[in-house]
Chain A
């Protein structure tokens, strides 16, 4: 958490009438990272992004974008970023190519960068079609091409792959990886966990407008239960008394359970005493971390 953060949000509150959409939300994105922003529909991901883009006015809290005030300096800050919404709406009488170039010029980027032609080619987009003729996936591609067609310091991607086919999701992942290699910072909001698990360096999980988990995947894994499955030679030991053991089940000589990080030594001691034939221990997947964050009772 330093002044150099590309995005730094502390205690952000945004209400819509009686609804508290963002409730003391914290988020920090450091330079050069791909930051996964996770939460189900309605958790407040898009609202956060819309406050960052000065489309919504915050009620309270601190929001910094490139160290500046995203509301007061919106236009200047937007020159350094590109944004892809989850549901792209195009102008019926403008061709895809016209929209791409217009977005590029509007953010002060060159419309003739070599990446433009290359990205259109990779996404297999026909830029001569008019807005009304594009399918949902193709509208999404128009915004993605505009975002990837010229250098930017920050990409804000709000569920950017909705409507894309698996081949195009691959192209998207490759583009993100390349931009990251160039030093671009990426805020990737998504509910497609495999995509985030693959691309993101760090992840923030939000629930009901506040961040419930934040950190690198490794850090988060260290804080969560691992899955342990063992087949023993002798009598199955009773693990139910070992602290930190959950979801215990015994099937003949096979015992499986989930174990909190602190409980692992105790479990291993008990299993070793019983004589282990096979032992697998797997760290929680992002999906399990995510579901875990949502299984807990709401805090405060």
Chain B
């Protein structure tokens, strides 16, 4: 296929930072899980108890998948990575394929390639190769991280195989979804919805009598592979066959459509603008309108799901291992309240991704010249800055409110108070604002630093576990704003950290605003 090798090397080069960063993050997660297992559970009996207690909670099984061999060290250590974190492997593959197919077509760069001596199938095939290469890289480093963390070699390799399988399926999903719409964001949303559906299918199969449902989802296959004992290697062939089928389907669709076109035709827009679309804030809200709706629905769902997990925690009260695990997750307090605090803190990190997206998009607007067009009108620098800042800060507060409200509604009847649950979500707002403020400051200093928001989310998320694992001094973990949020409702609401975090966020936003007013645009 003419040009395939060249194009693939070029794409890999363009995405080397993305691939490298994700590989590192996922490897750290694997190593942390593997290395912490012995310090979490001192004796084999403790591990069996912990595994049984996870299996006893349908909420945890829905989240992580069941533990098929309760004697297995590896399976317990890799509980979260087998299914839950494996979603991230699929996400990397989907993001990469989308980036090198539909995003290229939407930006018009694919047209440049269309004029070269390239096989018309080469861009899609090369994107698939990029996705597969990244999956392989992630899998190999995951295997090495597991082995380095003290887990058995054979199991580590099979486990890495399950990640490779999911990466390949993700590559196939990305390839098919990239054919559907002319809008790269729509393609991404369809792929994300599909992965959520596969996750839900597996969760249903794992927790109900209809166990066969898990066999319909590649995420279910990862558990059924039994990487750590009594391995059924042929399960990986299911991943491979699915991936091949998806890629073949994508190629068939690609051969039948025009460059830049989608299967779903783009609807025309209005010929005139709404009178409300008259300032930078209205513009930024319009740009993020679809995201805001999707994120609101997703946060409501996330809140409801987390609320559903909470009552389940009571059923594992009799296990020492589970109790220790819960205390490690959230500190002191009643188990349910600790679990609420722990779940909400994860929700806060997820919601910070929305903030990173909004701020990053602000940088892209400037980079692409659209901010310049707006600033050439009667829009002031302050208005342009406020448009991004308000959507980021207001959006974060709104999404935490939605998550907290959904969770509170879902926990009516549980032993935790609904008000406490709502408060647990709201106390996270200042921490998320601090991250948002730092991301805004980065963009205000230089528009090309827009990726800083994502770097901060990942860094602060990993800081806690890493500091614990490497036994770093306390202040290192304390660098993360999330670490200062009171663990409501297990703890009472303390005003001092909340006020300090809010003040810090305010100061940083003011510094960003001051800098943005002074600097060159573009």
Q: Footprint of B on A, CB under 8 Å?
A: 50, 53-57, 74-76, 78-79, 81, 83, 85, 87-103, 105-108, 111, 127-130, 132-133, 143, 156
Contact = CB atoms under 8 A, between A and B. Distances in A.
A101 B375 contact: no
A132 B269 contact: no
Contact of B273 (A78, A89, A101): A101
Contact of A89 (B183, B279, B369): B369
A97 B273 CA distance: 6
Given A54-B375, A98-B270, A143-B373, 16 more contacts: A55-B375, A55-B521, A55-B522, A57-B518, A81-B376, A83-B373, A85-B376, A91-B283, A92-B183, A92-B185, A98-B269, A105-B273, A106-B280, A111-B272, A132-B106, A132-B183
Contacts of A99: 273
A128 B271 contact: yes
Contacts of B269: 93-98, 128-130
B373 A111 contact: no
A106 B270 contact: no
A53 B522 CA distance: 13
Interface in B360-407: 368-370, 372-381
Given A55-B520, A56-B520, A130-B266, A97 B376 contact: no
A98 B268 contact: no
7 contacts: A55-B375, A75-B378, A75-B380, A76-B378, A98-B272, A98-B273, A99-B273
A111 B273 contact: yes
B375 A97 contact: no
Given A129-B268, A132-B182, A106 B377 contact: yes
Interface string B250-278: 00000000000000001011111111011
A95 B370 contact: no
A89 B106 contact: no
The secondary structure that dominates the B interface is loop
A108 B376 CA distance: 12
Given A92-B106, A127-B271, A128-B268, A106 B370 contact: no
B38 interface: no
B287 interface: yes
Given A55-B520, A57-B518, A132-B183, A106 B369 contact: no
Contacts of A81: 376
B519 interface: yes
Contacts of A55: 372, 375-376, 520-522
A91 B370 contact: yes
Contacts of A111: 272-273, 275
Given A85-B369, A87-B369, A89-B368, A107 B375 contact: no
A80 B356 CA distance: 36
Contact of B373 (A74, A85, A105, A128): A85
Contacts of A102: 273, 277-278, 283
A83 B381 CA distance: 17
Contacts of A108: 378
B375 A90 contact: no
Contact of A50 (B273, B278, B381, B522): B522
A17 to B, nearest CB: 12
Given A87-B369, A105-B278, A93 B271 contact: no
A4 to B, nearest CB: 23
A57 B520 contact: yes
Contacts of B283: 91, 102
Contacts of B368: 89
A83 B521 CA distance: 16
Given A95-B269, A106-B378, A111-B273, A57 B519 contact: yes
A129 B274 CA distance: 16
Interface string B286-303: 110010000000000000
B373 A94 contact: no
